[in-house]
Chains A and B, each alone.
Chain A
Amino acid sequence: DAGVIQSPRHEVTEMGQEVTLRCKPISGHNSLFWYRQTMMRGLELLIYFNNNVPIDDSGMPEDRFSAKMPNASFSTLKIQPSEPRDSAVYFCASSIGGDGQPQHFGDGTRLSIL
């Protein structure tokens, strides 16, 4: 199996621009997680979905952040408008669902907001 696929791997854009990060989970996995990783705050859970339904978005920092999962094989994380403090590595992970199953991570999107 191909693993979790994220795109783009790197994104550099100016503040105020809209940013869309994409994720394709592992086929058959029904839980999907979006994380943000920075040196200062470590790995933070932003939002997760079960069977395409958002379950917990309490980690989404502001209304500028939104996430969708229109089907079982695709999810997006959108930031609009972007700010320099949003610069981080954003990871998507998927699991088969159920209590505390191991998660499979993509290689992340390194986002730089100038």
Chain B
Amino acid sequence: SQQGEEDPQALSIQEGENATMNCSYKTSINNLQWYRQNSGRGLVHLILIRSNEREKHSGRLRVTLDTSKKSSSLLITASRAADTASYFCATALTGANNLFFGTGTRLTVIP
């Protein structure tokens, strides 16, 4: 399976702390994306990092990509209760429109 795997499966932190989630995948990719899913809602795209990029920032989000290790990390700084959600990585292969989603990390931010 080309599906990615997130680690940890669940993470619980205090508001204001940083949250780090990791994603590992198996094949060469075109890009890697991170999505958030709030309870009862669809997935929302957060950030995309291309295979030739190593780091990308968007507001409180920082994403890194190590293609040699086939891994990525998502860092959320200064977490807020509203960040409570499941976070998924998704990989895109060259020449394909579809994405391969990971198993997700459930983040709980305690006020």
Contact = CB atoms under 8 A, between A and B. Distances in A.
A100 B42 contact: no
B67 interface: no
Interface residues of B, number: 26
Given A43-B88, A48-B98, A100 B93 contact: yes
Interface string B71-111: 00000000000000000100111111111111110000000
A31 B98 CA distance: 9
Contact of A108 (B30, B42, B99, B103): B42
B48 interface: yes
Interface stretch (A64-72, A80-88, A90-98): A90-98
Given A42-B101, A42-B104, A43-B88, A99 B96 contact: yes
A42 B103 contact: yes
Contact of A100 (B88, B96, B104): B96
Interface residues of A, number: 25
B29 to A, nearest CB: 8
B33 A102 contact: yes
B20 interface: no
B64 interface: no
Contact of B94 (A91, A97, A99): A99
A102 B92 CA distance: 10
A102 B45 contact: yes
Contacts of A102: 33, 45, 48
Contacts of A91: 42-43
Interface string B4-43: 0000000000000000000000000011010000001111
Given A43-B43, A107-B42, A108-B41, 4 more contacts: A43-B101, A50-B97, A95-B97, A101-B97
Interface of B: 3, 30-31, 33, 40-45, 48, 88, 91-104
Interface of A: 4, 31, 33, 42-43, 45, 48, 50, 55-56, 91, 93, 95, 97-108
8 contacts: A4-B42, A31-B97, A42-B102, A48-B98, A99-B97, A101-B97, A105-B42, A108-B41
